[in-house]
């Protein structure tokens, strides 16, 4: 039997709900790829604490994120769906990789530059600086071949490749597999509904611009009806001149399985009101089953925790094997048992 290619991806449990960007930019790809790949999906709580988190809320958001993975179609008996902090090897490999990462190299990560600029130097933690190195550890521990992500993570996957290449050159060519990012061009970036030139983001400044997977249907519909468009009234895709309408068209197309030109034709000469109403139906139709299934799963946290525990055992087995090789190659003395 040929082995399926290994896939790895994760999301931060940094909000009560995932948003349309997470769902369309990543989760939909995960769902499609899980049957053809040996897939590992983590809830990256260790990444989430690189900015301040309330402990009780973090625990709850971690469960909520896992529940949404399952509700959106990730099968935890086939894919390995687990919580990052349950597998200590992530922190251990990250430490080793920190020692081969250049200070300047880490400082060039655009996400770090953005986030640290917003927070100011004193509020910015060393953890936030080292964040992409922990992400490299996530990916490399599992000998990952493909990493499906939105385009904001591309630079981090490139750093991961650089670190793997560097480690392999110094300590043994077959230590790490070099991972490839998988980025779906059309959906790599979903934009904020109120500010359609900025990406939809968990830390977005415009609550009305973010479509949460767990929003009540009436809230989702209201946000879509109020989405920023433009004054020419034409439902036409033009990213540069009509960013609001183009973003709505992308969301419509992905969630309905119809092409953008089909949708443009259907709404030609009909104005934005009709278009938005139809889009609201499409989005609610896609999100509502996920929302109700996620809430059902969250009603039984003990069962959810049990599932995550079983999956963490599976993840640990793979991760520990890689870590043992790494420790050996860098010259750590083996502990006598």
Q: What residues are designated binding site for L-tryptophan?
A: 138
Phi, psi (degrees; rounded to nearest 5) at 80: -95, 100
Annotated binding residues for ATP, written as ranges, equal: 12-14, 21-22, 150-152, 190, 199-203
Nearer to ligand TYM, 25 or 243 (CB): 25
Least CB distance from residue 84 to ligand TYM, whole Å?
A: 7
Residue 8 to residue 116: CA distance in whole angstroms: 27
Distance CA 73, CA 70 (A): 5
Q: Which is nearer to ligand TYM, 97 or 139 (CB)?
A: 139
**Residues that bind ligand TYM in the complex, under the rule CB under 6 A:** 8-12, 21-22, 25-26, 44, 47, 135, 138-139, 147, 149-150, 152-153, 188-190, 199-201
Assign 3-state DSSP to the chain and report helix, strand, coil percentages, each to 5: 60, 10, 35
Question: Residue 34 is encoded by which pair of tokens?
Answer: 């899980």
Q: How far is the CB of 309 from ligand TYM (least distance, A)?
A: 20
Name which of 334, 326, 331, 332 is nearest 163 in CA terms.
Answer: 326
13 vs 282 by CB, closer to ligand TYM: 13
CA 73, distance to chain mean position in Å, is 15
Q: Is 31 a catalytic residue?
A: no
Report the residue number, 152 or 180, with the smaller CB distance to ligand TYM: 152
CA angle 220, 82, 89 (to 5 degrees): 135
Indicate if 276 belongs to the active site.
no
Shortest Cβ distance from residue 183 to ligand TYM (Å)?
8
- The catalytic residue among 202, 223, 242, 276 is 202
Sign of the CA dihedral 290, 13, 46, 60? negative
SS3 274: helix
Single out the catalytic residue among 4, 31, 113, 115. Answer: 115
Q: How far is the CB of 58 from ligand TYM (least distance, A)?
A: 14
Point out the residue whose Cβ comes nearest to ligand TYM.
Answer: 25
CB 177, CB 6: distance < 8 Å: yes
Residues belonging to the active site = 115, 199, 202
């Amino acid at each position: 039997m040929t082995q399926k290619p290994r896939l790895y991806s994760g999301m931060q449990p940094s909000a009560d709900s995932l948003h349309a960007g997470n769902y369309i930019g990543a989760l939909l790809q995960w769902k499609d790829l899980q049957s053809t790949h040996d897939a590992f999906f983590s809830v990256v709580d260790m990444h989430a604490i690189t900015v301040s988190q309330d402990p009780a809320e973090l625990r709850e958001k971690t469960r909520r994120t896992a529940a949404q993975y399952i509700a959106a179609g990730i099968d935890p008996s086939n894919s390995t769906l687990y919580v990052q902090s349950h597998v200590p090897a992530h922190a251990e490999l990250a430490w080793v990789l920190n020692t081969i990462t250049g200070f300047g190299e880490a400082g060039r990560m655009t996400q770090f530059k953005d986030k640290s600029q917003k927070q100011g130097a004193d509020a910015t933690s060393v953890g936030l600086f080292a964040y992409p190195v922990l992400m490299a550890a996530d990916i490399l521990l599992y000998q990952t071949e493909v990493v499906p992500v939105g385009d904001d993570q591309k630079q981090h996957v490139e750093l991961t490749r650089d670190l793997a290449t560097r480690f392999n050159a110094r300590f043994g060519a077959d230590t790490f597999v070099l991972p490839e990012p998988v980025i779906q061009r059309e959906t790599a970036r979903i934009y904020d509904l109120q500010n359609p030139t900025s990406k939809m983001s968990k830390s977005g400044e415009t609550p009305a611009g973010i479509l949460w997977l767990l929003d009540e249907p009436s809230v989702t519909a209201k946000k879509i009806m109020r989405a920023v468009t433009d004054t020419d009234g034409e439902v036409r895709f033009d990213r540069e001149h009509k960013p609001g309408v183009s973003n709505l068209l992308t969301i419509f197309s992905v969630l309905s399985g119809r092409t953008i030109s089909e949708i443009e034709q259907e709404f030609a000469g009909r104005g934005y009101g009709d278009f938005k109403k139809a889009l609201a139906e499409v989005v609610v139709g896609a999100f509502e089953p996920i929302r109700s299934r996620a809430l059902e799963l969250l009603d039984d946290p003990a069962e959810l925790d049990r599932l995550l525990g079983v999956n963490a055992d599976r993840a640990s087995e793979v991760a520990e094997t890689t870590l043992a090789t790494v420790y050996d190659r860098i010259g750590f003395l083996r502990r006598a048992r």
